[in-house]
Structure 1
């Protein structure tokens, strides 16, 4: 896919991988419609992208809102006249084992990480199908490939993104719209420190888990973005970002049930909660 002079819609563009992808696209002369719930972060991404000479529109967006997602395509078309690339990147994390996580928090995560991907795809697909070459890029996770303890909600959402993307790719294979699913490994973003944590998780457990997660987040977002954008240019259906993603993907295929025996700390069950009988 030749992305120069294309128009990309990108969610979660206010920080982390989203900002880095936006700037990687801008460096290739791709115009941007960037969206995020964080207006301050969104404005900074827009400022940096505009400095590269591309056209940028900013859209404050809560991806969990049906109404806001439904209204976004017309706002983008009014600004840019077309959409060639949809990148569903927005996502959140939730700390706690299944018995510690409330139904409301579980639903909150699913609405942002998975249901928003479906709604954004439904909203923009008709416009993408009008283009001679277009692509949908859905950001899953390393935890859309493997399943550590303490990540039931996050894994459920990211496996759902993976399954949705793979089935959608087959449905669109004879059209002008391609589908790419991205599985980033440990990218150095704020997702661990900004994760919502259940009130039933003890403070010392929260701190221990965050420190453990931060140790695994090593790849600079800019490097991850270059891998993702290069994969878009090559029309790749799946992207594994980082050696950790590649190694664990291979281990999961080799030992689909028992691979966590090699990583006992990550498969460790939660200690009993002080707030539950």
Structure 2
């Protein structure tokens, strides 16, 4: 497949105000890629946009759970940018808690953000991507779209669904000018787990302890992850692992598809403990 040239064309990034999305924006702007930045955080989005020079940058403050707002933003992006040839979906959140602690509303909220927000922006921008001579969609899933840990049901569920959506869409678009890839990051120091949500039934001190334990396991810097994601987009990769842990878990699940949790349980014990009272 022909390599995608991002310079002098437009890439749309969701979740662009912070973390990997912001670092991807900085990296692409430095190489001459025009940008449409999407996020619900207007203040942080404006700050990122102000950093980026010598390229066209538009900002779109959108709650990705609102389909009408997403499609309106896609229309604005198409009007402002004559050639959109890449979409990178970084928007997402996390949710701590086991099934007994979580409410249906809490689980649906996370699914709306992680899954339906990804589906909505992809569907809304697909006509613009099809209009480009060549285009690529990069969806960020997670290492938890390869292996599902205890204590992360709504997150793993939503990310497995993103994986399924991405793979099915790639097959639908086979033979077209648009390719689709899925990225599986592991342990990126974005702060998502520290600033993510937790079930209301959990003692905040217990949730903070579990989140801190998870964060200690993260080793990849956001800028390094961003560089790998940009490279995957340019190469139009179908499947990309980010971080050593992702590659190890990918192998583990292939070798032990029904018993991989035995190998993961001990390492994640403190990170999934949302029931032991805080001392």
Q: Same fold (TM over 0.5)?
A: yes
In structure 2, distance between residues paired with 1:150 and 1:6: 41
CA RMSD of superposed structures (Å):
1.6
Aligned to 1:238: 239
In structure 2, distance between residues paired with 1:271 and 1:17: 27
Q: What displacement does 1:82 show?
A: 2.7
Aligned to 1:146: 147
Q: What displacement does 1:203 show?
A: 3.3
SS of residue paired to 1:170: helix
Mark the runs of 5 or more structure 2 residues left unpaired by the alignment: none
In structure 1, distance between residues paired with 2:141 and 2:190: 15
State the TM-score, normalized to the length of structure 2. Answer: 0.93
Aligned to 2:57: 56
Q: What displacement does 1:202 show?
A: 2.6
Aligned to 2:120: 119
Matches within 5 A, 1:83-232: 83-232=84-233
Aligned to 1:41: 44
Q: What displacement does 1:40 show?
A: 1.5
* 2:6 matches 1:6: no
Aligned to 2:67: 66
Deviation >6 Å, runs of 4+: none
Q: Check conservation: 1:94, 1:153, Cα contact below 8 A.
A: yes
Measured against aligned partners, the alpha-carbon deviations of 1:175-234 in whole angstroms (never above 9, x if no partner) come to: 000001011110001201111111211334212211111101221100000001011111
Q: What displacement does 1:23 show?
A: 1.2
In structure 2, distance between residues paired with 1:195 and 1:12: 14
Measured against aligned partners, the alpha-carbon deviations of 1:44-86 in whole angstroms (never above 9, x if no partner) come to: 2112222xx1110011111111111010121112211231111
State the TM-score, normalized to the length of structure 1. Answer: 0.94
SS of residue paired to 1:178: strand
Q: Check conservation: 2:241, 2:247, Cα contact below 8 A.
A: yes
Aligned to 1:259: 260
Mark the runs of 5 or more structure 1 residues left unpaired by the alignment: none
In structure 1, distance between residues paired with 2:135 and 2:170: 12
Q: Check conservation: 1:114, 1:157, Cα contact below 8 A.
A: yes
Aligned to 1:30: 33
Q: Check conservation: 1:149, 1:267, Cα contact below 8 A.
A: no
Count how many residue pairs are aligned between Structure 1 and Structure 2.
272
In structure 2, distance between residues paired with 1:144 and 1:242: 14
Q: What displacement does 1:122 show?
A: 1.0
Measured against aligned partners, the alpha-carbon deviations of 1:229-268 in whole angstroms (never above 9, x if no partner) come to: 0111111111100001010111011011111212223368
Aligned to 1:79: 80
